[in-house]
Amino acid sequence: MVKRDTGFQAAAHLIMIVMSVMVLFPLALLIMSSLSPESDVIRYGYSLIPREIDVTAYRYIFGDGSVFHSYLVTIAVTLVGTVVSVVITTMISYTLTVPGLPGKKLLSFYVLFTMLFSGGLVPSYMMWCNIFHIKNTIWALLVPSLLCSAFHIMITRSYFQNNIPKEILESARIDGMTEFGIFFQIVLPLSVPIIATIGFMKALMYWNDWTNSLYYITEKQLVGIQALLNNMLTNAKYLTQSMDASMVATDAAAIPSLSLRMAVAVVGMLPMIMLYPFFQKYYMKGLTVGAVKG
Amino acid sequence: MTKSRAFRQIRRYGPFYIMALPACIYFFINNYIPMGGLILAFEKYTVSGGIFGSEKVGLNNFRFLFQSADAWIMTRNTILYNLAFMVFGTSLSIVVAYLLHELKSTVSRKIYQTVILFPGLLSIIIVSYLANALLAGDTGFINMHILAPLGLEPVSFYSEQKWWPFLLIFIHLWQMTGTSCILYLANMSAIDPGLYEAANLDGANRFQCFFKITLPCLVPTIVTLSILSVGKIFNSDFGLFYQVPMNSGAILDVTQTIDTYVYRGLMNTANMGMSAAACFYQSVVGFCLVMFTNMLVRKFSSENAMF
């Protein structure tokens, strides 16, 4: 019995190691290509072991305004979007837990129905463009489809229901606190785990979103990092075209477009890699709580 | 009397309605107005007429859509890919979750889990970069470092259809297995250890334990998740089918899904009507499927039903 289990353990380790290598291999390829000289990439293709280390691509990223600018756009949108959507989501979730609130059933249905039926892309696109005129405004990156989702409301509501003791709220009311005071000073501080969970999920959504930019943005000033990557993949010379005229004039032939793309991709996923260890626990909680109904 | 009671009610509950208001307004704009906008499917859209006032053309848009070959291709692709994701995704997630669950070393379990969960955090754009580094015709790893040393002809993946059904399923599993196995892992930890002890006393081996205890205990989760994904079978990950194949026209037959069709139609004003019709088709059939599957879930395990 014991012997058989050693065999199983070894096999399990082996399979998991193979899977981990399969996950890490393309990432390593990406990072190594970003560190290779452009001429090597063209001659030998993307390889795992660079013939020599060359950081020209990274120097272009930090020397050139447009990558940095896209980065700032994405950071700003992610920060603002996450904060606003966490506030909006927690507020309505709290309302849905108030006992005896008239019309609560109707309100839950109003929220839930958005999960069941959707108008889809065409009507949404036409509405945002023709009624709200958000094309080429910062609103296009913040608002459509990202700000608030019924799913996050459901998991937040069930957290509030199970983890906020009613007695505390009652005694605060007796002490004369306003409902907003209770919400911001008592309920939210008691809800750090769920705020971290949905906050990280929202931040991830904003950071990784590129479709809003694809649909609504043509203005270069408003291109975020994912959209920039997208443009670079479909048009290898995208960045070199948009670079400062002075830079192109001096160095046009030397701009490393292939390794530069890879370097921008590395920089584009870096913040989430760095945040991931701190939020992994909450992120995993969010994934499991999602299936258990709110 | 009634007036003062109503006043008291408002004073008591007013703040809560105010808290709910921003989300309600948002849902009204983002979700409810576009539902009304589905009327576009029955119109010949003009700028002057707008969404609700353009010329009504009855079912013409649908007639054009379903007379074209596209309708069949995109429906077939969307459904088949989703079925493949369900079958392979579920099996792989369960196997991976089981291996992780049975590992004795908690440290290595944590490491593996962290690694395989990671691709789920990447945007589909980054995923298409990774795919491109492997698949690109002139510089890709597969052509330069695997096929060339073996003396084989380079493959141009982005123009040959036969690779993509496999590639898209593989990429989806690559990205999502870590995420979806977490749920099975959580359910496995909840299984009563007494069952395994009893089975061990009776001399059951590992495979018997897996098929007679672990798997049956997971059945409710498997069924519920599968039913829920049947409800979403008309939807697809737009980025996976549009961006990962680099929007390549040559392989459209195996990469076109309803979502990519709708987007392509929308960007091409001549196809606007058909795009709106496809969008309507997706929304309405999707809604029916969700209602139907939720009815099934309610029958099967009511605690998992959405409503």
- Paired strand residues for B43: B56
What's the pLDDT at A4?
Answer: 60
What's the pLDDT at A294?
Answer: 32
What's the pLDDT at A40?
Answer: 84
Helix (H, G, I), strand (E, B) or coil at A115: helix
Q: Within chain A, where are the H helices?
A: 2-34, 38-44, 56-63, 65-95, 104-116, 121-130, 139-142, 150-163, 166-174, 179-182, 192-208, 211-216, 225-234, 238-242, 245-251, 257-291
Name the residue of chain B whose CA is nearest to A128's CA: B30
Chain B contact probe: residue of A122, A124, A127 with most B CBs at under 10 A: A122
Token code pair at residue A11:
């096999």
* Chain A positions in Cβ-Cβ contact with residue B108 (cut-off 8 Å): 13, 16
Between B104, B112, B279, which is nearest A16 by CB?
Answer: B112
What's the pLDDT at A1?
Answer: 45
What Å distances lie between residue B245 and A22, A30, A52, A229, B124, CA to CA?
20, 18, 31, 15, 11
Between B19, B221, B246, which is nearest A94 by CB?
Answer: B19
What's the pLDDT at A290?
Answer: 55
Cβ of residue B305 closer than 8 Å to a chain A Cβ: yes
Q: Let me know: does A266 contact A31? Beta carbons within 8 Å.
A: yes
Taking an 8 Å cut-off on Cβ atoms, the answer to whether A45 and B112 are in contact is no
Between A41, A91, A126, which is nearest B20 by CB?
Answer: A91
Distance from CA of B163 to the nearest CA of A (A): 18
What's the pLDDT at A293?
Answer: 41
Helix, strand, coil: what percent of chain B each, to 5?
A: 80, 0, 20
What Å distances lie between residue B252 and B159, B247, B260, B273, CA to CA?
9, 8, 10, 20
Cβ of residue B13 closer than 8 Å to a chain A Cβ: yes
What Å distances lie between residue A163 and A159, B17, B19, B187, CA to CA?
6, 22, 20, 22
Burial of B280 (0-12, 13-18, 19+ CB in 10 A): buried
- CA-CA distance, B268 to B262, in Å (whole number)? 10
**pLDDT tens digit string along B277-298?**
999 999 999 999 988 888 887 8
What's the pLDDT at B229?
Answer: 86
- CA-CA distance, B240 to B78, in Å (whole number)? 12
pLDDT average, residue stretch B39-64:
87
Cβ of residue B134 closer than 8 Å to a chain A Cβ: yes
Residues 186-225 of B with CB under 8 A from A: 186, 205-206, 221, 224-225
| Region for residue A237 given its phi and psi (left: phi exceeds 0; alpha: psi -120 to 50; beta: otherwise) | alpha
What's the pLDDT at A240?
Answer: 58
- CA-CA distance, B19 to A95, in Å (whole number)? 7
Name the residue of chain A whose CA is nearest to B272's CA: A122
Calculate Rg over the CA atoms of chain B: 25
* Chain B positions in Cβ-Cβ contact with residue A273 (cut-off 8 Å): 118, 121
Q: Let me know: does B290 contact B231? Beta carbons within 8 Å.
A: yes
Other CB atoms within 10 A of residue A4 CB: 10
Cβ of residue B267 closer than 8 Å to a chain A Cβ: no
What's the pLDDT at B35?
Answer: 94
Phi, psi (5° rounding) for residue B297?
A: -60, -40
What's the pLDDT at A288?
Answer: 79
**pLDDT tens digit string along B138-167?**
888 999 888 988 988 889 999 999 999 999
Residues 232-251 of B with CB under 8 A from A: 238-239, 243, 246-247
B155 vs B271, more confident: B155
- CA-CA distance, A182 to A161, in Å (whole number)? 15
Nearest Cα to Cα of residue A197 among A112, A265, A294 = A294
**pLDDT tens digit string along B199-229?**
989 988 888 899 999 999 998 888 878 877 8
Distance from CA of A172 to the nearest CA of B (A): 14
Between A30, A102, A145, which is nearest B133 by CB?
Answer: A30
User: Is the predicted pLDDT of residue B119 greater than 50, yes or no?
Assistant: yes
Residue type, A8: F
Token code pair at residue B81:
């890919």
ipTM over 0.95: no
**CB under 8 Å to A33, separation ≥6 — which residues?**
A41, A46, A47, A50, A258, A259, A262, B133
Distance from CA of B191 to the nearest CA of A (A): 16
* Chain B positions in Cβ-Cβ contact with residue A122 (cut-off 8 Å): 37, 40-41, 262, 266, 272, 275-276, 279
Taking an 8 Å cut-off on Cβ atoms, the answer to whether A126 and B51 are in contact is yes
Name the residue of chain A whose CA is nearest to B40's CA: A123
**pLDDT tens digit string along A168-202?**
999 999 999 999 999 999 999 999 999 999 999 99
Cβ of residue B124 closer than 8 Å to a chain A Cβ: yes
What Å distances lie between residue B243 and A46, A181, B128, B255, B281, CA to CA?
20, 47, 6, 10, 23
What Å distances lie between residue B151 and B112, B146, B154, B158, CA to CA?
35, 9, 9, 21
* Chain B positions in Cβ-Cβ contact with residue A210 (cut-off 8 Å): 123-125, 239
Name the residue of chain B whose CA is nearest to A26's CA: B130
Helix A192-208 with A65-95: angle, nearest 10 deg: 140
Name the residue of chain B whose CA is nearest to A28's CA: B130
- Paired strand residues for B44: B55
What's the pLDDT at B2?
Answer: 64
* Chain A positions in Cβ-Cβ contact with residue B177 (cut-off 8 Å): 19
Phi, psi (5° rounding) for residue A99?
A: -70, 140
Element (DSSP H or E) covering residue B44? strand B43-44
- CA-CA distance, B131 to B164, in Å (whole number)? 12
What's the pLDDT at A250?
Answer: 45
Helix (H, G, I), strand (E, B) or coil at A120: coil
Between A117, A123, A153, which is nearest B287 by CB?
Answer: A117
What's the pLDDT at A255?
Answer: 58
Q: Let me know: does A230 contact B243? Beta carbons within 8 Å.
A: yes
Q: Which residues of chain A have pLDDT under 50?
A: 1-2, 244-253, 292-294
Taking an 8 Å cut-off on Cβ atoms, the answer to whether A258 and B27 are in contact is no
- Can you give B259-298 as a three-state secondary structure string? HHHHHHHHCCHHHHHHHHHHHHHHHHHHHHHHHHHHHHHH
- CA-CA distance, A2 to A11, in Å (whole number)? 14
Taking an 8 Å cut-off on Cβ atoms, the answer to whether A23 and B183 are in contact is no
**pLDDT tens digit string along B83-102?**
999 999 999 999 999 999 99
Helix B69-102 with B106-117: angle, nearest 10 deg: 160
Distance from CA of B84 to the nearest CA of A (A): 20
Among all chains, which residue has been given the structure tokens 């990280």?
A200
User: Is the predicted pLDDT of residue B275 greater than 70, yes or no?
Assistant: yes
Among all chains, which residue has been given the structure tokens 């593996």?
B112
Among all chains, which residue has been given the structure tokens 């991709």?
A265
What's the pLDDT at A277?
Answer: 87
What's the pLDDT at B261?
Answer: 93
- CA-CA distance, A117 to B167, in Å (whole number)? 31
Distance from CA of B266 to the nearest CA of A (A): 7
Nearest Cα to Cα of residue B78 among B293, B250, B286, B294 = B286
What percent of chain B has a predicted confidence (pLDDT) above 90? 55
pLDDT average, residue stretch B116-145:
91
What's the pLDDT at A238?
Answer: 66
Give the CA count within 13 Å in the CB-facing half-sphere of A234. 14
